Amino acid sequence: MDDLKAKYLGLIAEAANEAALEDLRVQAVGKKGEISLKMRELGKMTPEERQVAGPALNALKDEINSALAAKKAALADAALDERLRSEWLDVTLPSRGRRAGTLHPISQVSEEVTAIFAELGFSVAEGPRIDTDWYNFDALNIPSHHPARAEMDTFYMHRAEGDNRPPHVLRTHTSPVQIRSMEKMGAPIRIICPGGVYRADYDQTHTPMFHQVEGLAIDTDISMANLKWVLEEFVKAFFEVDDVELRFRASHFPFTEPSAEVDIRCSWEDGTLKVGEGDDWLEILGSGMVHPKVLEAGGIDPAVYQGFAFGMGIDRIAMLKYGIPDLRAFFDSDLRWLRHYGFSALDMPTLHGGLSR
Ligand code: DAH
């Protein structure tokens, strides 16, 4: 027994890690361990022998077990010490000089648009970028075989065989947020919904992911005149000009009736855009009076309520305002481009403090 004790206490003292320690435990006091086997031999002894050997073996087993526990704790302590040593950090060192990050023009323009519409009493609503085709199409009066579905170059989510849940799409516009907001808030309502949208398209003015802002105002007495005034106020504030002329062109969207596309008067001199003067027109958004079927889909009674809606490309108005020629550069993550076109993260755009200084 003395030999066993010396052997295991020596091995335990030298164990390099917890795994080695566990091996030793099995070897000594595990079911088939050396000491456990010895304990089985007690049965073959005479009662007198057993009276001596029994307590001695039990004491040995206890001693080995506590040596194992003590070594385990010591190993854990050592591991912690090692971590504390290697993860040590001198928090008193001076910080490294770094170039300040900048706000991406899309973030900047989203903030500018939000600030302007907030002043006009609109709050911000959001919806999911992955939505069902009901919210993205059907509820907006775009039934299955409507040509507008084909025109949208929709990304459909993959569905496993036998999956009967409604098909999901990457939303092709922010208009589904109209429906979700009507469902949630009812009428009257006055919201804008900025966010990312997706279409399978790629060239100088199209990227598979881009950004829109939706507007929606519903009440008992809202007319096209309100739409026109709101958009005029917006365009003046956004392009930071005193006066601007808007042109409403009759158009067609399934979710509005009547529908209009809106152009602003502008000029291009040496490739620079001037808003508010000149002989050119620049299309900036689609709009109209919300279709009764769309109100119904959102749970609002079209006999009582009516409203206007519009949808505008954020990337597009950012390109126009800040003279950015290629949409694709927005998504290249080129640091030189971001430093050139980026905005200070600390200047929040406000109408009184200035939108974009
Ligand atoms: N959803 C349309 C698009 O992506 C834009 C749009 C047009 C939104 C007219 C509207 C609207 O709310 O009234 O092309």
What pLDDT sits at residue 355?
79
Distance 313 CA to ligand 1 centre (A): 10
What is the C-alpha separation between 113 and 349, in angstroms, rounded? Answer: 9
The pTM of the full predicted model, rounded to 2 decimals, is 0.72
Ligand 1, atom nearest to 140 Cα: 1
What tokens appear for 18 in the block? 């917890």
Closest residue by CA, ligand 1 atom 5: 311
Closest residue by CA, ligand 1 atom 8: 311
pLDDT in tens, 36-56: 998 888 889 899 988 988 899
What dihedral angle (degrees, nearest 10) is formed by the CA atoms of 11, 17, 22, 25?
A: 20
Average pLDDT over residues 263-277: 85
What is the C-alpha separation between 32 and 162, in angstroms, rounded? Answer: 53
Query: Quick one: which of 211, 222, 140 has its CA closest to 177?
Result: 140
Q: What angle do CA 28, 33, 38 make, to 5 degrees?
A: 100
Out of 310, 314, 316, 317, mutate this one to test ligand 1's pocket (max ligand atoms within 8 Å of CB): namely: 310
Ligand 1, atom nearest to 173 Cα: 4
Average pLDDT over residues 73-82: 93
Average pLDDT over residues 57-79: 93
Q: Average per-residue pLDDT in the chain?
A: 92
Ligand 1, atom nearest to 308 Cα: 13
Residue 173 Cβ contacting ligand 1 at under 6 Å: yes
Q: How many residues does the chain have?
A: 357
Average pLDDT over residues 211-221: 98
Distance 173 CA to ligand 1 centre (A): 7
> 188: cis peptide before it, omega within 30°?
yes
344/213: higher pLDDT: 213
- Predicted confidence band at 357 (pLDDT cuts at 50, 70, 90)? low
Of 117-131, 236-250, 343-357, which has the strongest mean pLDDT? 117-131
185-199: burial string, b at 16+ Cβ within 10 Å, e else: bebebbbbbbbebbb
pLDDT in tens, 294-322: 999 999 999 999 999 999 999 999 988 88
140/161: higher pLDDT: 140
253: DSSP letter: E
Q: Is the pLDDT of residue 354 over 90?
A: no
67/165: higher pLDDT: 67
Residue 254 Cβ contacting ligand 1 at under 6 Å: no
- Predicted confidence band at 98 (pLDDT cuts at 50, 70, 90)? confident
Q: Is the pLDDT of residue 80 over 70?
A: yes
Residue 309 Cβ contacting ligand 1 at under 6 Å: yes
Average pLDDT over residues 281-289: 95
Of 56-70, 175-189, 200-214, 328-342, which has the strongest mean pLDDT? 175-189
What pLDDT sits at residue 65?
93
Strands 189-198, 256-269: parallel, antiparallel or unpaired by DSSP?
A: unpaired
How many Å from the N-terminal Cα to the C-terminal Cα in the chain? Answer: 87
Strand partners, 258: none
What tokens appear for 190 in the block? 């006055």
